[in-house]
Amino acid sequence: MTTNARHRTPIWIAVAMLCSSPLLMSPVAAQFGYPGQMNLPQNDFTWTWGDQRSAERDREDFSIFGNEAGFRCDLTGKFRPSGRVSRLDIRELESSLRNNMRFIQGAANTMNQLDAQGQIDWAVLKCVKPQRRDGNRRSRQDN
């Protein structure tokens, strides 16, 4: 095998993976547009990872609140018992996501990565877009 043939093999593997990845995308991954860009829904949404039946009965390992694009979000989740994640690791995860200027994108990327690695049992990102209070403005205008 020549040197050139050795270098071509990984390229073909990468191309095959890129071509097949849209078929394997989760609903969360489908929200991503171009690299570095995310298409957020217009209204409240919930994204999930892992086994949601476990989410209903298990207490979470982490809970993180964050804001982005007018949404108020809560990310909760539980690591797999076999994951051997320390309390320090969990605090670092919470801190890095809480301080991320793009909370939703950071949370989705991190949960996608942890889910792909089999490290989380479940995770839920619930985001709510608070409604403006127009009632106060109308009552002031009526006076």
Element (H, E) at 95: helix 87-98
Which structure tokens are listed for 32?
Answer: 């991503």
Cα gap 97→138, rounded to integer Å: 38
CB atoms under 10 Å from CB of 129, counted, come to 16
Residue from 70, 82, 71 nearest 125 by CA: 71
Would you give per-residue pLDDT tens digits along the chain (143 residues)? 444 444 444 433 433 343 344 444 444 544 444 445 668 888 999 999 998 877 677 788 999 999 998 999 999 999 998 877 888 999 999 999 999 999 999 999 999 999 999 999 999 999 999 887 665 555 555 55
Helix (H) or strand (E) holding 64: strand 62-68
Q: Is 66 exposed, middle or buried (0-12, 13-18, 19+ CB in 10 A)?
A: buried
> What's this model's pTM, rounded to 2 decimal places?
0.65
